[in-house]
Amino acid sequence: MNAPDTSIAAAEIPSRKTIREWLQPFRERSTARAVSLLLLDLTLFGASLAAVILLRAWPLKLLFGALAGIVIGRLFIIGHDACHQALTDSKALNNWIGRIAFLPSMTPYSLWEVGHNTVHHGYTNLKQVDFVWAPKTPEEFAALSPWRQRLERIYRSGWGPGLYYLVEVWWLRMYFPSARYMKARRKNFLPDTLLVSAVGLVWIAGLVAAALATQQSVLLMLLTGFALPFLFWTAIVGFVIYVHHTHTSVIWHQDKIDWARAIPNVTTTVHLKFRHGVGTLLHHIMEHTAHHVDMSIPLYHLKAAQRCLEAAMPGRIIIQNFSWRWYFDTARRCKLFDFKQNCWTDFQGVRVA
């Protein structure tokens, strides 16, 4: 498809409405393509679990358990797009695809829709509203108990994204959340949570039955066929969300007027560029600016949409080539956010150059 003419001055950021008009050609959806992607990844997930069950050597079980975790991540991205109503023109079909794709990650569809679509996308990087990797201020960190400070240090060490997602997002806000963490209440919250719980129990029971039938260790089977894939998936999603919105050039906001004026859909997201096909492996979720500007763009058009944005607004979109050196340097610098200085600081509140 041909991208529209979007030449503007490099110093300008137009309104989101204008930018979305540029991206209109990339909203075309294909039901066949969406269903094919779902079936492909479900097949890969089933094949990975079958390998865990059938292969006896524990290193191979670990390998395919980790592979299953990667595929859970791929399925989650499909579900994520379906939840944004971006995959097909049918709302009902999108909802079915989303619920099915979310099952291996044990993500309740309706709870994710509220926490992600409404809160995160509606108020990206607005303090006290967007909860995803929201940084504490130096004053907030100082007021924490010692054990909570230690946990925050682990989360932001560079090694803790998986633990952060498991505890702060999935456990507290997705899996039977209390009113403290999910103030909204919808009638489909409970059925969706019970559905993923039932799938988890069937998954575990199937692995136990397979271990007994093949005279293998039940513990090893559960570790490599359930715990490892699920924890590997949480590490992937925690990492992906962290690098999408944590960067020395990314600003958080306290004032809603200033936040809106900053065009947050453009300025608070990072396009992280990988080599060796990693972006394709993750269904192009790293083309994240385009996704935040227009959630209705399906994953299979995000790469082209991102190119369009970067050609239209040179120097205005945060683009970062990934390296582990950059990642851990970012984790070292981006601990807390000082709204008085409008910058990231270390845990002592000192600005890190």
State yes or no: pLDDT of 30 exceeds 80. yes
Q: What is the chain's length?
A: 353
For the residues 242-261, what does the mean pLDDT come to? 92
CA angle 282–285–287, rounded 5-degree value:
125
Give 236's pLDDT tier (boundaries 50, 70, 90).
very high
State yes or no: pLDDT of 197 exceeds 70. yes
State yes or no: pLDDT of 155 exceeds 70. yes
pLDDT tens, residue by residue, 260-270: 888 888 889 99
Total Cβ atoms within 10 A of residue 332? 13
Whole-structure pTM value: 0.92
Q: Taking all residues of the chain, what is their mean pLDDT, rounded to a whole number?
A: 92
Nearest to 65, CA basis, from 192, 309, 256, 235: 235
- The pLDDT of residue 20 is 87
- The pLDDT of residue 353 is 60
For the residues 141-168, what does the mean pLDDT come to? 97
State yes or no: pLDDT of 200 exceeds 80. yes
Contact 266, 19 (CB under 8 A): yes
Q: Which residue has the tokens 């103030």?
A: 183
